[in-house]
A = this chain, B = another copy of it.
């Protein structure tokens, strides 16, 4: 039932479809065709249908397409929606603060509940509703709160050490903004968001 083994690319597109479907729902649209969902998600109708197959959804009809609500429910079931997820953030610099603000406004299942920094001036405060602790208390706080996901927004030189501490504390999923690859034990799932690398790619492909 709970379909593990969905390819990463498909998971990415499913979150996209869900956002599009929610918006369509708000606009009063109850059904959608694969080619519409495709256009709104920058992909092909065949890709949409294939993705829906991979979550075993087959509630579409030639007449009306897919029911938006049913589709959202199926994606929710696969992606464990609803279950609120606590996040720990390490690195309260400009990016860290932007993330704190972003997650305090945005209603989302992800909640930044603890932030950490080595700079004593930054700890003790509450920023965007999130308490800031000294880096040394990372393991303790993360364990107490039962936090499973972490966000790294420290300089590249500190990222590996921070990530290792996170793993030590029981974190099993890491979003890394530092421009350095993390080497971590297999069970930990880490993903990198590398702004400069992405720009480099854009520059390469845009400038012929």
Interface mask (A69-94 → B, CB under 8 Å = 1, otherwise 0): 00000000001100001010000011
Assembly CA distance A202 to B93 (angstroms): 23
The number of chain A residues touching the other chain, given as a range, is 35 or more
The docked-state distance in angstroms from the alpha carbon of A95 to that of B103 is: 12
Is A126 positioned at the interface, with any CB of B under 8 Å from its CB?
A: no
In this assembly, does A188 line the interface, its C-beta being within 8 Å of a C-beta of chain B?
yes
Contact at B16–A197, with CB atoms within 8 Å?
yes
Contacts A149-B203, A193-B195, A206-B189 given; indicate if A179 touches B94 (C-beta within 8 A): no
Give complex CA distance A15, B207 in Å.
Answer: 16
Chain B residues in 8 Å Cβ range of A140:
none
**A110 shortest CB reach to chain B, Å:** 5
A172 at the interface (CB under 8 A from B): yes
Find chain B residues with CB under 8 A from A46 CB: none
Contacts of A202 in B (CB 8 A): 149, 173-175, 189-191
Residue of B nearest to A157 (CB): B23
State the Cβ distance, A197 to closest chain B Cβ, in Å.
Answer: 5
A198 CB-CB contact with B under 8 Å: yes
A96 to chain B, nearest CB (A): 8
Is A31 located at the chain interface by the 8 A CB criterion?
no
Residue of B nearest to A99 (CB): B195
Pairwise interchain contact A12-B102, C-beta atoms closer than 8 A: no
Determine whether A183 belongs to the interface, using a CB cutoff of 8 Å to chain B.
yes
- A-B pairs with the 3 shortest C-beta distances? A173-B206, A94-B98, A189-B206
